[in-house]
Amino acid sequence: MNGTNFSMIKRNVIQQRSLPARRLWTLVALGLTLGMGAGFGQGAEELRMTVGKSVVIDYPSDVRQISTSNPDVLDASPVTTREILLHGKGLGNATMVVWSKTGERTFYNVTVDLNLDPLRKILKDSFPSEQITPDSSRDPFP
Per-residue model confidence as pLDDT tens digits over 72-103:
999 999 999 999 999 999 999 999 999 999 99
| Residues 35-68 pLDDT 10s | 333 334 468 899 999 999 999 999 999 999 999 9
In the three-class reduction of DSSP (H, G, I as helix; E, B as strand; rest coil), residue 82 is classed as coil
One-letter amino acid for residue 113 of the chain? D
Phi, psi dihedral angles at 8 (to 5 degrees): -65, -45
Using DSSP bridges, classify how beta strands 44-50 and 105-113 pair: parallel, antiparallel or unpaired: parallel
